[in-house]
Amino acid sequence: MVHFYEGCTMILKQRKQNRLKNYDYSQSGYYFVTICTQNREEWFGRIENGVMGLNGNGQIVENQWVWLAKQYPYVVLDSYVVMPNHFHGVIGINVGHGRDRSLQKIKSLSELVGAFKTTSSKLIHNSGIVGFHWQKSFYDHVIRDELSLDRIREYVINNPKQWDKDIENNLNARNDAGGYYKAGPF
């Protein structure tokens, strides 16, 4: 995964703007999100032979992702995967038209991800794991067509099989030498 969501200066660390300017993230559409744990710590299980095995924390994360669609009727879930230290998911917002929209308070993508992160963190903490934290913010990509959606679905499905080459895998050196499995092309 290419790190699009953090930037540094030599003097002081600053955050890069990670949402599209003037884009309404509560409008109908599909979005790809990547959410990482703080310091890329592996909290959610292990990958063996290209298959992700969830531990209790990973099951909480998966359950809370599914909970979003139960809690908010306008949320549609598509492909997703819980990885050892991050999460990839495709989420749709399906807003009614006319009067229907005015009757609903539609949460933006950031608010939905915030609800997911808050509830999953609380449940993990309640299980006795007080050191768990999500990284601040998240990466998103607005999915604009079927071709992009198909590519992202393929990426999500194949992500565990590529773990040994993934830049998010802490066993891989962090440099620009190449050979990493990066998100794309979207």
pLDDT above 60 for 160: yes
pLDDT above 90 for 13: no
pLDDT above 80 for 128: yes
Predicted pLDDT of residue 161: 95
Predicted pLDDT of residue 48: 95
Q: How far apart are CA 108 and CA 114, in angstroms?
A: 10
Least confident of 42-46, 93-97, 151-155: 93-97
pLDDT above 60 for 176: no
pLDDT above 70 for 12: no
Q: How far apart are CA 46 and CA 172, in angstroms?
A: 15
pLDDT above 90 for 185: no
Q: How far apart are CA 81 and CA 171, in angstroms?
A: 20
Q: Please say whether the beta carbons of 85 and 54 come within 8 A.
A: no
Predicted pLDDT of residue 7: 32
pLDDT above 70 for 4: no
- β-strands 7-8, 13-14 pairing: antiparallel
pLDDT tens profile 68-91: 999 999 999 999 999 999 999 999
Long-range contacts of 165-168 (CB under 8 A, 24+ apart): 166/1, 166/83, 167/1, 167/2, 167/3, 168/1, 168/36, 168/40, 168/83, 168/85, 168/86
pLDDT above 50 for 5: no
Q: How far apart are CA 103 and CA 80, in angstroms?
A: 30
pLDDT above 60 for 129: yes
Pick the CATH number of 7-17+25-162 from 3.40.190.10, 3.30.70.1290, 3.10.20.600, 3.30.565.10: 3.30.70.1290
Reported as a pLDDT band with limits 50, 70 and 90, residue 163 is: very high
- Degrees, nearest 5: CA angle 144-145-148: 95
